[in-house]
Amino acid sequence: MRRLMLLSSAAVVALAIAAWSHFPAVAQRAAPPAASEAITFEQYRDFRRHDLAQRQARLAKQLAAPDLSAAEKGSLERRKAYYDQLAAVSADERDQLYRERFDQIDINRDGKLDPDERAAWREKQREFYRQQAAERSGAVSQQH
């Protein structure tokens, strides 16, 4: 009887492990930090890894749409090439890139990104992309 109980307990544990392994990685990850919390490099790196995979999948799906204009397709292909290239580098090289970016964001050099540092970085990035868009639209209007 005891032996049967041990075997059934082991079977339950094995089933639980098998079921857990089939859940998507999203369900297995810890919850992201609240917006008011500081994040460590490890949390930042894990977020960037997950984001990279999501972007690659989303871009591939968008590129499969049948009704893309040439301009839309070109834009999506350029962005996908960027993320594919980033995914192709070794994990160590990618971690080094993430570390360099983390250090740029970590203004006070405490090894954590607080909400103010993240907000300042987002604004810096928004301005950078605004300028790029303005330059592109200026170049397009000069061509016509």
- Whether residue 71 is contained in a domain is answered as yes
How confident is residue 15, by pLDDT bands cut at 50, 70 and 90?
Answer: very low
Q: How far is CA 60 from CA 25, 69, 85, in A?
A: 20, 16, 14
- Whether residue 50 is contained in a domain is answered as yes
Break the chain down into helix, strand, coil percent, rounded to 5: 75, 5, 20
Q: pTM higher than 0.75, yes or no?
A: no
The string of pLDDT tens digits covering residues 48-96 is 999 999 999 999 999 999 999 999 999 999 999 999 999 999 999 999 9
- Whether residue 92 is contained in a domain is answered as yes
For residues 117 and 101, the answer to whether their CB atoms sit within 8 Å is no
Q: Which one has a higher pLDDT value, 15 or 1?
A: 1
- Whether residue 85 is contained in a domain is answered as yes
By residue range, what is the domain housing residue 54?
A: 40-113
For residues 112 and 40, the answer to whether their CB atoms sit within 8 Å is yes
Q: Which one has a higher pLDDT value, 140 or 137?
A: 137
Q: How many domains does the chain have?
A: 1
Token representation of residue 18 = 């098998």
- Whether residue 74 is contained in a domain is answered as yes
- Whether residue 16 is contained in a domain is answered as no
Mean pLDDT of all residues in 101-125: 97
Mean pLDDT of all residues in 114-120: 96
Q: Which of 34-38, 84-88, 126-130 is least confident?
A: 34-38
Torsion of Cα atoms, 117 then 118 then 124 then 126, to 10°: -160
Q: How far is CA 23 from CA 16, 26, 43, 58, 86, in A?
A: 11, 8, 21, 20, 26
